[in-house]
A and B are shown apart, each in its own frame.
Chain A
Amino acid sequence: MTWVALRLQRTETLITAAILALIAALLIPTGISMADAYSHDGLSACLALNPSAPCMNAIGDFQSRFQSLFNLTAWFTLIPGIVGVMLAAPFVVELESGTYRLAWTQSVTRRRWIATKLGVPIVTGLVLSGALILLFTWWRAPFVHLNGRMDATTFDSEGIVVIGYTLFAFGLALALGVVFRRAVIASTLAFIGYFVSRIFVDVWLSQRLVTPDHAAWKSNQPQPANLFHANLISQTGPGLVKGAVPGSAPFGANVHANVHVSGAVARAGQHLSNFTTHVVYQPPSHFWPLQLTETGLFAGIALVLIAFAAWWTHERVA
């Protein structure tokens, strides 16, 4: 049965593997040159809290050199969606074309057929998303050293969340597919659904999955050290001079900073020392709690959708 499921999934496996290969073809050469530049410029020595002026220049040069490439990788957050949706197609196609009537009247029971037809793409999806994570993590290492990994672009492609995203897209396409029995409609709707829910989670929900930290300081006081490599959620007050600390100016980062500098602050430039800066942020120590919560959320919804699809297929399809 496993051979049959693999054979009937061959096209989808090849397409997703080709997408992965394309990404690797882009990331591996640039990753090598980036790693070379990073070590050549001696940037690792610049990671002190208050780097020297030449260091700041070197960091600035490095960042402006690879900025556009980094921005490009923000699009890769769609890849788990494509992979998940693609891998759900063989199951849906089987229902759409009526070949399940052939499969279910051989000697394997419907239960075993469903288990294998779901297990094979899930394992494929896990392998592919694992490869994506490894590739991204290796490629992005220099940026992570400089800026941390709390910004959305990095956060969404490292750790384990990619696994959750892939499973979610798979489950969504599958659940829609077994109900509609149309692979194209189900894939399109699932991809849109994936995209919308990812935006919702990135923009609004993910910051709330783990309670963020708060910090406040007077303008004449130094900025707290644990803002280094943090992801800023909101800010009020005049502080946090961008660029002063590597982590405070998240390079390529998706910072939803609501900077409310009051009119009074703007007018009374010489009295800035009286004003307090408030920031709400996710410190680097929240990386794994956030990763686990978000992965759990997406994988949990995925499991419910997959279980629904399995039940529907077992009970409702004839």
Chain B
Amino acid sequence: MSTQAAFVADGLGKRYGAKWALRDCSLEIPRGSVAALVGPNGAGKTTLLHLAIGLSKPTTGDVQVLGRSPRDEAATVLPRVGFVAQDHPLYRALTVGETLRVGRKLNPSWTDDLAFQRLERLGIPLGQKVGTLSGGQQAQVALTLALAKQPELLLLDEPVASLDPLARREFLESVMEVVAERELTVVLSSHIVADLERVCDFLVILSQAQTQLVGPIEEVVSSHRLLTGPRTDPATVARIHRVIRESHTERQTTLLVQANGHVYDSCWELHEVDLEEIVLAYLGHRGERVAA
């Protein structure tokens, strides 16, 4: 396991009753990356993030965050990790100012300056009750709370799912600003691929409780190709490359492949594919997992 990894899962699994929410998950997210955790609802994204922050205990395997176990070494892991849970829970009866005070009381590494400046820039009044803020403002308060403890790793669970398009863009811009300002690893989950493409440089695709693809987005995009050619059995191609999705018409075959080097066969016409299409292909794919 690399010490450069901010997050390492090794054979990680979590079972609720008879159902596996996450199964045999092994992956590394390098430090400094902005990783997107993509998958449909119920794919295990929240479970993975809860295991990462120590809210849940693994059923099998091991998880390391910043080189430590989030559950057994909570006292050393928690101050270094910022977390915004799904639907950004906050104390609705507290004012924004009191919410910041909660953050200050509960975090030794808290920085008031960062918190106050951020909220002032966003125009969120300190005297207002959190429950009366808009969804976007609440998400920003939750993010501020997570950032003001000056984390090395920031985990965001579906941070924009409940926001309208404008608030969604503002929130993601905030995340990008923070990443530009300082050394920070971010893992954010979403089922909306288009949002993540602008922000993230690392991709984890989760589906049916298992990781389908893990790797830097640039490599993911450059290694996947769409092949079109006369109708044929894809077995020849599958010997060298990994076929993610195949579709056939009467005269034509279209394959989305993860190419192992160049595709030399001249009977295929090669097209580049965008990230969204790759993600969709994997989400429909039922094969074994691969690393890009």
Residues of A participating in the B interface, judged by any CB pair closer than 8 Å: 1, 3-4, 7-8, 11, 97-99, 101-110, 318
Contacts and interface: CB of A to CB of B under 8 A. Distances in A.
Leading 9 A-B pairs by shortest Cβ distance: A106-B106, A105-B83, A101-B85, A107-B79, A318-B56, A98-B89, A107-B107, A109-B74, A99-B89
Interface stretch (B97-105, B163-171, B207-215, B229-237): B97-105
Contacts of B87: 98
9 contacts: A97-B92, A98-B87, A99-B89, A99-B91, A102-B91, A105-B55, A107-B106, A318-B55, A318-B57
A102 B90 contact: yes
B15 interface: no
A284 B50 CA distance: 59
Given A4-B106, A7-B102, A101-B85, A108 B91 contact: no
A98 B157 CA distance: 14
A108 B90 contact: no
Interface residues of B, number: 34
A285 B50 CA distance: 58
B95 to A, nearest CB: 11
B106 A98 contact: no
B263 interface: no
B55 A109 contact: no
Nearest to B149: A107
B90 A110 contact: no
B193 interface: no
Contacts of A97: 89, 92
B108 interface: yes
A7 B145 CA distance: 18
B85 A98 contact: yes
A107 B89 contact: no
A3, A102, A105, A109 — most chain B CB neighbours (10 Å): A105
B179 interface: no
A92 to B, nearest CB: 15
A237 to B, nearest CB: 63
B109 interface: yes
A106 B55 contact: no
B126 interface: no
B53 to A, nearest CB: 5
Nearest to A10: B93
Given A4-B102, A108-B78, A102 B89 contact: yes
Nearest to A5: B105
B292 interface: no
A8, A101, A106 — most chain B CB neighbours (10 Å): A106
Given A7-B94, A7-B98, A109-B75, A101 B105 contact: no
Contacts of B103: 106
Nearest to B85: A101
A253 to B, nearest CB: 45
B46 to A, nearest CB: 10
Given A99-B90, A107-B149, 4 more contacts: A3-B101, A8-B91, A102-B142, A109-B74
